[in-house]
Amino acid sequence: MYKVSVVIPIYNVEKYIARCARALFKQTLDAIEYIFVNDCTPDRSMQILQSVIQEYPNRSKDVIIINHEHNRGIAAARNSGRDAATGSFIIFCDSDDWPEKDMYELLYDSVIEHQADIAICDWNEVYADKIERTFTPHIQSSKKCMEYVLTGRMHGSLCNKLIRRSLYTEYRIACKEGVNYCEDLYVIYKLLFYAKSITYVDVALYNYFKENENSYTTAKLSIQSQQGLVELIKDINLFIYQNRIIDRYITDAVCFIKVSTKAKILYYGSDVYAQLIPNVNLKYVVQHPTLPIHYKAIVYFSILHFNMGVKFLRNFLWFLKSYQAKL
């Protein structure tokens, strides 16, 4: 039986897939299942992957390739891989990123040693000219972890978290298909809530590549993704109601994620969908613990119905981003 299943969605990553696959096949942990999900990629990603697989004949028997008949998006690709996984634990790896060679061994050893449901590590944000380490706060309480994810104080990525597969199956947790921006949030706050024990590895083991122009996180939001973010807020509210979570800090965290979600839609999407996110007291805009000041300003203007201010600030920020990209 496999100890760990790694799910890797593939779409438009011919520049990066070889680096990712080699890092995966060089892992020091044995008994890893590799599940590559071809989301109908139009480039040469799959041919390159097949070539790399041939370089590691000892790993080829552990490789599963799932082919989508049409492009369904990263959330659906994650779900396809998760459904096919047979390992005791599941982790995801985006195909433009790469793990350190001992990442899965260290995370697996940690969950076994501490009898935990989830192991979390730090990661590096890799730019063309620098590498920045991101530290993960050590929170033992599952409810507190949920709060930290909703407020942005703990990153919601699934790629630096090794998660017991039974959490997905027992509680029927899945990504929201069609949401290709912040898709991990649909599942991670639930997984953290249900986890009985969480452990941490104080090493940056995952390399998050920030220069991929094809990444979902660098583009403007599609209508479908904006709708998905609106549904995310409804999903969180419903989850809290169904699980009868009565906690002042969680209540505050929900208000904070409403602010940050509205900010993302206002900046990357349209005013129409931003208005579908319920407004909150302005104190949650001002007191948001992680939201940048320009995001706070655009939400502040929106809540006050200062539409000219919203448009001016959004256009100015996009102009500034475009100008900096040309330098």
Rounded (10°) angle between helices 223-242 and 248-268: 170
pLDDT of 216 reads 47
Name the pTM for this structure. Answer: 0.91
Burial of 198 by CB count in 10 Å (0-12 exposed, 13-18 middle, 19+ buried)? buried
Residue pair 228/129 in contact (Cβ under 8 Å)? The answer is no
In order of their start, the domains of the chain are 4-217 (3.90.550.10), 220-326 (no CATH)
The alpha helices in 62-184, defined as continuous H runs, are 74-84, 103-114, 142-151, 165-171
In this structure, the strands spanning 32-38 and 4-10 are parallel
pLDDT number for residue 212 = 57
How many CB atoms within 10 Å of residue 47?
A: 10
List, run by run, the mean pLDDT of 10-residue segments along the chain (327 residues). 97 97 98 98 97 97 97 95 98 97 98 98 94 93 94 95 98 88 91 96 96 57 88 94 93 96 92 92 96 94 92 88 71
pLDDT in tens, 53-85: 999 999 999 999 999 999 999 999 999 999 999
pLDDT tens-digit readout, 164-210: 999 999 999 999 887 777 889 999 999 999 999 999 999 999 999 98
